[in-house]
Amino acid sequence: MDPQSHPEATRTDINASRRHRSVEPVLMDTAEVAATLNMSTSRVYGEASKLGLKCYKLGRGRNAKVLYKRAEVFKWLEQQKIH
């Protein structure tokens, strides 16, 4: 079958391929960072700046989300490696 004669089939294939792609999240929440680093969430909150991890606060007040860049967390973790 010629794709030009059935444009709907081509469009459906494109949409199907888009649905199956997974996108790596750029940001991690505190619970994810704590699990990755094997720490408690309260320790991550308290020592993130001491550890050199920069956080990003989204929102205001008590319901604000504190997020960390995944690349920065793994970069910091890599720097902790003992040679």
**CATH code, domain with 35:** 1.10.10
Residues in the chain: 83
DSSP E strand boundaries for 30-77: 55-58, 65-69
Q: How far apart are CA 44 and CA 70, in angstroms?
A: 14
**pLDDT tens-place string over residues 12-54:** 666 665 666 677 789 999 999 999 999 999 999 888 888 888 8
**The domain containing residue 62 runs over which residues?**
26-79
DSSP character at residue 28: E
Q: Which residues, 6+ apart, have CB-to-CB distance to 48 below 8 Å? A: 33, 54, 55, 68
- Residue 60 in any domain: the answer is yes
> At which residue do the structure tokens 């991890």 appear?
53
- Look at residue 72 and tell me whether its pLDDT is greater than 60: yes
Number of domains in the chain: 1
pLDDT at residue 8, as a whole number: 58
Give the predicted TM-score (pTM) of the model: 0.65
